[in-house]
C-alpha cells in the first residue's frame, strides 16, 4: 500500500515568474524556479483528491497527467487556492457524477459566494457547470482509506491545515500559515512528511518567513519536510543548499510515493 503526493503548484499568489519581473529567479533557467499557484494532488489505490484548486488547475492537470478527482479539500478561500474550481466540471464528466468539496464552514461560505452558479444537479438549460456537494468539515473524516484530520492554523479570515493518515504514515499539509496554535503543533509532532509555508526570507504579516518555518519544523520534528508557497525571493538551489538535511524545497511536478516509515532524505 502506498500514497502518492504530486505538487501541482508550489508558488505564492502571483506565481513565479511574476508578470513584468526580470529578477534572477523570475528569469532563471532552472525549471524548479517556475512555480504555479499552490495545490496538492493525493492518490491511493482507492481514492484521489485535490487539496485546493488553484487558478492554474487546468494546465497543472494537463502537465502532470491528473485525470481522476474523487474529492476536493479546501484550506481557505483566497483566490490563489479556489479560483480553479470551475475546472472541476471536466472531472465530473470523467467521473460521471457529483464531486464532494470539503472545507471548514467559513471557507465554504466564501466559496459558495464566489461560485454562486454551481450546485449538485445538472443545469436545466444544459449549461456546463461544476457539480459538487459542499461538505462542512468539523472533525476527522475518511476519503477512501485516508484519514483526514482538520487543523486550525492562523492565516487570513480562516485557514485549515490537514493531517493525512494512511497505512501508518502521517503527512502534514499547511501551505499558508502566519502562526500555528500549540495544539496544532502537537497534532503534527513526529509526522513522516511535513509540507509547510515558507514564503520568503523577510518576515511577512500573513505568512511564515524562512526562519519562522524552520523554527516551527524543529518543534514538529518530521522525518522529512518540504517548504512550499515560495515567492521569487527564493532561488531553489540556493535555498536548499542552506537547509538542514531533513528539510527540502518543493517544486512543481515533484512526486512523492510513500510507503512505510521514512528516513530523512539526502539531497541529490
For residue 51, give the CATH number of its domain. Answer: 3.60.15.10
Per-residue pLDDT reduced to its tens digit, 49-102:
999 999 999 999 999 999 999 999 999 999 999 999 999 999 999 999 999 999
Burial class (CB in 10 A: 0-12, 13-18, 19+), 20: exposed
pLDDT band at residue 125 using 50, 70 and 90 as cut-offs: confident
pLDDT average, residue stretch 123-134? 90
Residues 6 or more apart whose Cβ sits within 8 Å of residue 192 = 169, 170, 171, 222, 223, 224, 258, 261, 262
Task: Specify the pLDDT at position 260.
Answer: 65
Asked if residue 127 belongs to a domain, the reply is yes
Asked if residue 195 belongs to a domain, the reply is yes
Cβ 97 vs Cβ 68: under 8 Å: no
Residues 6 or more apart whose Cβ sits within 8 Å of residue 218 = none
Q: Is the pLDDT of residue 267 over 70?
A: no
Asked if residue 264 belongs to a domain, the reply is no
Establish whether the linkage from the previous residue to 17 is cis, with ω within 30° of 0: yes
Per-residue pLDDT reduced to its tens digit, 173-230:
999 999 999 999 999 999 999 999 999 999 999 999 999 999 999 999 999 999 999 9
Distance CA 59, CA 141 (A): 30
Task: Specify the pLDDT at position 263.
Answer: 46
Per-residue pLDDT reduced to its tens digit, 139-179:
999 999 999 999 999 998 899 999 999 999 999 999 999 99
pLDDT average, residue stretch 124-132? 89
Asked if residue 266 belongs to a domain, the reply is no
Q: Is the pLDDT of residue 261 over 70?
A: no
Q: What are the CA-CA distances from residue 166 to residues 14, 17, 144, 223 (Å)?
A: 33, 35, 10, 16
pLDDT band at residue 127 using 50, 70 and 90 as cut-offs: confident
pLDDT average, residue stretch 224-239? 98
pLDDT band at residue 264 using 50, 70 and 90 as cut-offs: very low
Distance CA 151, CA 107 (A): 14
pLDDT band at residue 1 using 50, 70 and 90 as cut-offs: confident
Distance CA 27, CA 83 (A): 26
C-alpha cell of residue 117: 452558479
Asked if residue 51 belongs to a domain, the reply is yes
Distance CA 229, CA 11 (A): 4
pLDDT average, residue stretch 104-123? 94
Residue 185 domain boundaries: 3-18+29-258
Distance CA 263, CA 38 (A): 26
Domain count, the chain: 1
Asked if residue 234 belongs to a domain, the reply is yes
What global pTM score does this model have? 0.95
Q: Which residue has the cell 519562522?
A: 212
Asked if residue 61 belongs to a domain, the reply is yes
Task: Specify the pLDDT at position 266.
Answer: 43
Asked if residue 267 belongs to a domain, the reply is no
Amino acid at each position: 500500500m502506498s500514497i502518492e503526493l504530486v505538487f501541482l503548484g508550489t508558488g505564492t499568489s502571483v506565481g513565479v515568474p511574476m508578470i513584468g519581473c526580470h529578477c534572477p529567479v523570475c528569469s532563471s533557467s532552472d525549471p524548479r524556479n517556475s512555480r504555479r499557484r499552490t495545490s496538492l494532488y493525493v492518490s491511493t489505490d482507492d481514492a484521489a483528491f485535490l487539496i485546493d484548486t488553484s487558478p492554474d488547475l487546468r494546465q497543472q492537470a494537463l502537465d502532470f497527467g491528473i485525470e481522476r478527482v474523487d474529492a476536493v479539500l479546501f484550506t481557505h478561500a483566497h483566490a490563489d487556492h479556489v479560483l480553479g474550481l470551475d475546472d472541476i466540471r471536466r472531472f465530473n464528466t470523467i467521473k460521471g457524477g457529483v464531486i464532494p468539496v470539503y472545507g471548514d464552514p467559513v471557507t465554504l461560505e466564501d466559496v459558495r459566494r464566489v461560485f454562486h452558479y454551481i450546485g449538485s444537479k445538472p443545469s436545466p438549460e444544459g449549461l456546463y457547470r461544476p457539480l459538487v456537494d459542499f461538505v462542512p468539515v468539523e472533525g476527522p473524516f475518511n476519503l477512501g482509506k485516508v484519514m483526514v484530520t482538520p487543523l486550525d492554523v492562523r492565516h487570513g479570515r480562516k485557514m485549515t491545515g490537514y493531517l493525512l493518515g494512511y497505512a501508518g504514515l502521517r503527512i502534514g499539509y499547511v501551505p499558508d500559515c502566519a502562526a500555528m496554535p500549540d495544539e496544532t503543533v502537537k497534532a503534527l509532532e513526529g509526522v513522516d512528511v511535513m509540507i509547510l509555508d515558507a514564503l520568503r526570507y523577510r518576515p511577512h504579516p500573513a505568512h511564515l518567513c524562512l526562519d519562522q518555518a524552520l523554527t516551527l519544523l524543529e518543534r514538529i520534528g518530521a522525518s522529512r519536510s518540504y517548504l512550499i508557497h515560495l515567492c521569487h525571493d527564493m532561488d531553489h538551489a540556493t535555498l536548499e543548499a542552506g537547509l538542514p538535511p531533513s528539510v527540502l524545497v518543493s517544486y512543481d511536478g515533484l512526486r512523492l510515493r510513500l510507503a512505510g516509515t521514512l528516513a530523512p532524505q539526502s539531497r541529490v
